[in-house]
A and B are shown apart, each in its own frame.
Chain A
Amino acid sequence: SQQGEEDPQALSIQEGENATMNCSYKTSINNLQWYRQNSGRGLVHLILIRSNEREKHSGRLRVTLDTSKKSSSLLITASRAADTASYFCATVPIQGAQKLVFGQGTRLTINP
């Protein structure tokens, strides 16, 4: 079963604008991770945020985590054409099998 659900499923913005993607999950987690996938390629790890953290930054990326709402957001600032990709959140539930569970992803298109 899918633990994380991304919203929106697809997002199209102009280069230079900010892009925000959201992820909701169902059960308590150890950590939440965001990955990027270019078409036909493997996934690339972006950020890992632990359940006791609320915000994390990496370059133009900002991730927030709200464990009370069981949600996370990924913000990409000053978007570039090269940011065009699918973005996935993945969670590690505290209960049950300790394995990374991926959502279905957000397809982000940056228009030049």
Chain B
Amino acid sequence: DGGITQSPKYLFRKEGQNVTLSCEQNLNHDAMYWYRQDPGQGLRLIYYSQIVNDFQKGDIAEGYSVSREKKESFPLTVTSAQKNPTAFYLCASSIRGVGEKLFFGSGTQLSVL
């Protein structure tokens, strides 16, 4: 089955700890995205990448970091600098670039212990 796989589904972070959320796609899409969703809210863009080894900040990049070493993978690290990390994190991809329809993973719920 082609799609986007996010793991883990639930993640807990201790204060001062960095955690990494995994996102893998086998759709052969060029572009990948990370969004944050707070309860009852819409999605806010954290980072996006339109090509391997290149990525751009979104609206709320502070406290987060990403890498795009492979076309299939776009991991997100939530660093200790992110003081309010509790949220639902969604990874998405599109065939080429921004403005196209997005394919989403099933999300990771991050909570702080």
Contacts and interface: CB of A to CB of B under 8 A. Distances in A.
Contact of A40 (B45, B104, B107): B107
A104 interface: yes
Interface string A24-46: 00000011010100001111110
Contacts of A45: 101-103
Given A92-B98, A99-B58, A41 B107 contact: yes
A6 to B, nearest CB: 8
A98 B99 contact: yes
Interface residues of B, number: 26
Nearest to B44: A102
B8 to A, nearest CB: 14
Given A43-B104, A45-B102, A92-B99, A99 B40 contact: no
Name the 6 nearest CB pairs between A and B, nearest first: A42-B104, A102-B42, A92-B99, A102-B43, A104-B42, A45-B101
20 contacts: A4-B42, A35-B102, A42-B6, A42-B90, A42-B105, A42-B107, A45-B102, A45-B103, A48-B101, A88-B42, A92-B98, A99-B45, A99-B48, A99-B98, A100-B102, A102-B42, A102-B43, A102-B44, A103-B42, A104-B41
